[in-house]
Structure 1
Amino acid sequence: MTALHDPAEQAVGSAGADKAALDTVEPTGGAEAAGPRVLGRRLLRWGAIGLSLVLVGTLGYLWYDSRLPSTYSVMDMGVADYGGGPVPRGGHQHGGGVSVATLTGPVDVAPAVAMTLTARAGSFALASGEQVTGYTLNGGSPGPEIRATVGDVVAVTLVNESVADGVALHWHGVRVPNAEDGVAGVTQDAVPVGGRHTYRFRVTDAGTFWYHSHQVSHEQVKGGLFGALVVLPGAASPDVVAQVHTYDGRRTVQGATGERRVAAAAGVPTRVRVVNTDNGPLRVAVAGAPYRVLAIDGHDLHGPGDVTDRDLVIAAGGRADLSVTPPAGAAVRVDLGAGSSLVLGPPGAAAPAADPAGAVLDLLSYGTPAPVDLDTSQFDRDFTLTIDRWPGFLDGRPGLWWTMNGRLYPDVPMFMFRAGDLVRMTITNDSGEVHPMHLHGHVALVLSRDGVPATGSPWWTDSLDVDEGETYVIAFKADNPGIWMDHCHNLPHAADGMVAHLAYEGYTTPYMIGGKAENEPE
């Protein structure tokens, strides 16, 4: 219902309102000055609202655009980089060409080395007695040591008894056919609980290698799913494997904390095969005798000399073979950090303490030069990989993330080439942290660091530490067709997107990340 008012009351009310309005007018400009100020404040207010909407909309778009689908192929990730080489007609396409599933090892040859590895989740005892929770292979961690001779066919059947996320085994540093590389979502599906998968490959390089899970690897490797693979050139000589791993904050050597003693005769060299299974650099110091670095990442160095005043740093995932000779009546200590060490010598012989704070041996100039089977005067492909860190969204999560060539995962590089190409790659690290870059399926020759050419022994590597501010130039031959990972072996970094791929033209993979198999190949 509408209220009725007396006209006189309306007049009085109107006059009062007019007087109130006059009372509020500023004396320095009146209504004419107040109008622009009010308008200005309104424009500022609406401008701020508009800017906020644009900002929220942009962030919303970035959040939405960063979300990963439930299943996708590595063939669809990022932008194909041809390194200045020819681009195939039609460009890079998913689904065409030879499937990596066909690139298997020998199936009609009886293996010289055959074993079954059963993966389990749960609590277990370290060799030194401490209880930890994680994962085992055949009831222990590290898993069983595999030994073979160059030319042998190796067959390993992986059985998943109770690892809920599934499991796969990668043969780190071993140049296997692509289908045997053990990367869930790229070269196979993760083996589910109750499932099994057999790997078959012929070993062609003598050296120290290792195997580990490549499914949810930042958790499963840390928890214990790994072991050593030693390939001998023929007749065996005295050697000892020293896998360094940290379980729940406990640094161990071959699964035992503290000091591990190994009987070694005085005057007889022992090959110490050090494997860094952790996520960061491993500093090795030797006290009691000179030592030599015989090999890096499974490849012998040429003309290695005695080292007396330098420590050796081994990248995460990397290996180094040391020659250690105990003197008469004494022992040698190989210090592996965090209270762990290997002592070699006669039983009961004392070993001096090592000082791991010395200078570091530079492999760029260690040893003597030798010919290499690469023509490094010209290249078919020339790639650049720049590592940095930028704020952004990764799968809907805001944060400060690793970038590769300025891009966040999964918009990461896929380096494309053809079988037979000679490839050069320049790796620069501007991210603020060291990154151990691991190349699958190939071995790379280090050409230079920060513009300084290599002058010592040819340095072949598959796990290369690139420190903050450093630039390395490496080269390799494209001689192992397939789809291969190239990633940081600080495995939490890989889980956060430090993953690129090498892809041979004409090859593709039928496997998917995510999906029914829940593949997580980082």
Structure 2
Amino acid sequence: MSGRVIAVAAAAVVLGPLIWLWQASLLPSAYSVMDRGHAGHGGPTRSVTSLIADPDRRADVLVTLTAREQRFRLPSGRPVDGYTLNGRSPGPVIRAAAGQLVQVRLINESVPDGVTLHWHGVDVPNAADGVAGVTQDAVRPGQEFTYRFVAGRAGTFWYHSHQMSHEQVRRGLLGALVVSEPRPPTGVADVVALTHVYGGVRTLNGYEGEVRAEAPPGGRTRVRVINTDNGEMPVWVAGAPYRLLGVDGTELNGPAQVWDARVLVTAGGRADLEVVMPEDGSPVRIEIGGSAAVVLGSGSSTTWATPPPAQALDLLSYGKRTPVSFDPDRPDRRFPYEIGRRPGFLDGVPGMWWTINGHLYPDIPAFIVAEGDVVRMRIANRSGEAHPMHLHGHHALVLSRNGVPATGSPWWVDSLDVGDGDIYEIAFVAGNPGIWMDHCHQLVHATEGLVAHLMYEGVTTPFHAGGEAGNEPE
């Protein structure tokens, strides 16, 4: 056998498997997430389009949001090339009371790749989840789409595009959603602190540096911190103690005063802090990420930035334990969600990609559940980086971290930061039928394959990723 023949044979042995892996990784021009795991099981089926709020009920809150691609200015005057809602970014704060039906008309005036709105942390009916290619088609320029959902619980939430979200969220398609109690407590000031980084500059509600808010001496103020960026963010208070009232739109039970500890707010997560102002009128400073702050007070007193406390508040033991409405120790379904990383091909591109249960996207089976199931999930991260994991349509109860059980207030999350080497046990009741994303909210990681789906038996979708609609949810 000639040397050339031997060389060709050797090359085929080496390159053949690589070519097969490359070809197997290529995504079709249009595909359904149903291909990842069929949830029909031969019984009656429902389309995600049928999972809607009562169509005969009149809306209590009506909002129109017009999305544009444009150059805009932050209140500081800094120009930003990005996207706006009603001519601004962040978009308008949407406010509702618990139990009200919210109706939002989204008009795409000029976002060329299309746009959707996802209601982050709100357990909306599936048709209103706003995920391009899963629950709807992206809204193209000149088109519109209407979202309807009941704001079922009081809390702090936000909204953002879920079409090309890694780009559109970063460049401005987002805003705050605040759901109050039907009868809010009197005498409590309420401050929204939505943080977003534009071009490397951290802002609060679009403002750079300090944001001041009126707060009378001796009065209580609720500060709603919303982290819209891709990484975990520390928050701490200087000038007074605080209580952490809520996380991810759920109140904590029996929160105690905290004097010298920082709160870590997950990417996509929210933290509601209550501050009681000093009787002498001294200002209180809430540090947001170390480069922005909310300053509470009734005057113009000067405040100075303070370093973060060494200790982080541990939500496994914070607050008082109280029973929950289901038994997480008797689950109907158990799922591993093991996050790793390895070389391979993703849609034909070679690289180091994230894996779920050892598989590269799209070879990731769905988590199949039936309505009413108690679901227990073990999230283990062995990937080398932290991942803020976000489950759509549900809130999960944190049971343990690295084998240490939760002993404080029930800690409910929709966004959970899972550090490298960490193992979390979580549980939830499958009480909201649909097809739901369960993905990393470091949104670039999601484009790199860190995406799974929770699918209910008997639920299907007519929508496809890619295709003529150009759906790109991440």
Task: Identify the TM-score tier after normalising by the shorter chain.
Answer: over 0.9
> 1:132 aligns to what SS in structure 2?
strand
Q: Does 1:450 align with 2:398?
A: no
What CA distance in whole angstroms lies between the structure 2 residues aligned with 1:518 and 1:376? 40
Q: Which residue of 2 aligns with 1:335?
A: 287
> 2:141 aligns to what SS in structure 1?
coil
Q: Which residue of 2 aligns with 1:137?
A: 85
Post-superposition offset of 1:269:
1.3
Is the CA contact (8 Å cut-off) linking 1:100 and 1:509 kept in structure 2?
Answer: yes
Is the CA contact (8 Å cut-off) linking 1:405 and 1:413 kept in structure 2?
Answer: no
What CA distance in whole angstroms lies between the structure 2 residues aligned with 1:419 and 1:130? 49
Q: Which residue of 1 aligns with 2:132?
A: 184
User: Which aligned pairs between 1:44-59 and structure 2 lie closer than 5 A?
Assistant: 49-59=8-18
Q: Which residue of 2 aligns with 1:11?
A: none
What CA distance in whole angstroms lies between the structure 1 residues aligned with 2:427 and 2:164? 29
Is the CA contact (8 Å cut-off) linking 2:234 and 2:290 kept in structure 1?
Answer: no
Post-superposition offset of 1:107:
1.6
What CA distance in whole angstroms lies between the structure 2 residues aligned with 1:157 and 1:365? 42
> 2:170 aligns to what SS in structure 1?
helix
User: Which aligned pairs between 1:263-342 and structure 2 lie closer than 5 A?
Assistant: 263-327=214-278, 328-342=280-294
Post-superposition offset of 1:355:
1.3
Structure 1 residue ranges, 4+ long, deviating more than 6 angstroms after superposition: none
What CA distance in whole angstroms lies between the structure 2 residues aligned with 1:358 and 1:298? 26
What CA distance in whole angstroms lies between the structure 1 residues aligned with 2:404 and 2:158? 31
Q: Which residue of 2 aligns with 1:166?
A: 114
Work out which of the residue numbers 55, 71, 82 in structure 1 matches 2:30: 71
329-338 or 124-133, which moves further after superposition? Answer: 329-338
Deviations along 1:35-57, one digit per CA (max 9) or x if unpaired, are xxxx9xx78x8655533221111
Is the CA contact (8 Å cut-off) linking 1:159 and 1:197 kept in structure 2?
Answer: yes
Work out which of the residue numbers 242, 245, 252 in structure 1 matches 2:203: 252
Is the CA contact (8 Å cut-off) linking 2:68 and 2:87 kept in structure 1?
Answer: yes
Post-superposition offset of 1:285:
1.7
Distance 1:385 1:436, change over 3 A: same
Work out which of the residue numbers 170, 173, 197 in structure 1 matches 2:145: 197
Post-superposition offset of 1:151:
1.0
What CA distance in whole angstroms lies between the structure 1 residues aligned with 2:441 and 2:255? 27
Deviations along 1:151-171, one digit per CA (max 9) or x if unpaired, are 101100000000000000000
What CA distance in whole angstroms lies between the structure 2 residues aligned with 1:407 and 1:362? 32
Is the CA contact (8 Å cut-off) linking 2:252 and 2:319 kept in structure 1?
Answer: yes
Aligned length: 470
User: Which aligned pairs between 1:411-422 and structure 2 lie closer than 5 A?
Assistant: 411-422=363-374
What CA distance in whole angstroms lies between the structure 1 residues aligned with 2:256 and 2:141? 49
Q: TM-score, normalised by structure 2?
A: 0.96
Is the CA contact (8 Å cut-off) linking 1:288 and 1:351 kept in structure 2?
Answer: no
Post-superposition offset of 1:274:
0.2
What CA distance in whole angstroms lies between the structure 2 residues aligned with 1:423 and 1:409? 23
Q: Does 1:123 align with 2:81?
A: no
> 1:385 aligns to what SS in structure 2?
strand
Q: TM-score, normalised by structure 1?
A: 0.88
Is the CA contact (8 Å cut-off) linking 1:142 and 1:227 kept in structure 2?
Answer: yes
Structure whose residues are more often helix by fraction = 1
120-129 or 160-169, which moves further after superposition? Answer: 120-129
Q: Does 1:405 align with 2:357?
A: yes
What CA distance in whole angstroms lies between the structure 2 residues aligned with 1:260 and 1:279? 22
Is the CA contact (8 Å cut-off) linking 1:285 and 1:312 kept in structure 2?
Answer: yes
Distance 1:281 1:89, change over 3 A: closer
What CA distance in whole angstroms lies between the structure 1 residues aligned with 2:6 and 2:309? 59
Q: Which residue of 2 aligns with 1:383?
A: 335
Post-superposition offset of 1:281:
0.5
Bigger Rg, which one: 1
Q: Which residue of 2 aligns with 1:243?
A: 194
What CA distance in whole angstroms lies between the structure 2 residues aligned with 1:386 and 1:51? 36
Q: Does 1:106 align with 2:58?
A: no
365-374 or 346-355, which moves further after superposition? Answer: 346-355
Is the CA contact (8 Å cut-off) linking 2:372 and 2:430 kept in structure 1?
Answer: yes
Deviations along 1:461-507, one digit per CA (max 9) or x if unpaired, are 00000000000000000000011110000001111111100000011
What CA distance in whole angstroms lies between the structure 1 residues aligned with 2:299 and 2:364? 54
Post-superposition offset of 1:412:
1.5
Could you list the runs of 5+ residues in structure 2 that have no partner in the other structure? none
Post-superposition offset of 1:301:
0.3
What CA distance in whole angstroms lies between the structure 2 residues aligned with 1:488 and 1:376? 24
The aligned amino acid for 1:454 is A
Deviations along 1:324-383, one digit per CA (max 9) or x if unpaired, are 122123111111125211111122123343212521111001111011111122010000
Is the CA contact (8 Å cut-off) linking 2:216 and 2:281 kept in structure 1?
Answer: no
The aligned amino acid for 1:156 is V
Post-superposition offset of 1:227:
0.6
> 1:310 aligns to what SS in structure 2?
coil
Is the CA contact (8 Å cut-off) linking 1:304 and 1:366 kept in structure 2?
Answer: yes
Q: Which residue of 1 aligns with 2:344?
A: 392
Q: Which residue of 2 aligns with 1:490?
A: 442
Work out which of the residue numbers 303, 314, 322 in structure 2 matches 1:362: 314
Post-superposition offset of 1:129:
1.5
Structure whose residues are more often strand by fraction = 2
Q: CA RMSD for the aligned pairs?
A: 1.6
Deviations along 1:267-306, one digit per CA (max 9) or x if unpaired, are 1110000000000111112111111100000000011111
Q: Which residue of 2 aligns with 1:19?
A: none
Is the CA contact (8 Å cut-off) linking 1:329 and 1:349 kept in structure 2?
Answer: no
What CA distance in whole angstroms lies between the structure 2 residues aligned with 1:338 and 1:133? 25
Is the CA contact (8 Å cut-off) linking 1:289 and 1:326 kept in structure 2?
Answer: yes
> 1:272 aligns to what SS in structure 2?
strand
Deviations along 1:413-460, one digit per CA (max 9) or x if unpaired, are 300010000000000000011100000001000000001100010000
Deviations along 1:52-71, one digit per CA (max 9) or x if unpaired, are 22111111111111111000
The aligned amino acid for 1:355 is P
Work out which of the residue numbers 342, 352, 377 in structure 2 matches 1:425: 377
The aligned amino acid for 1:59 is L
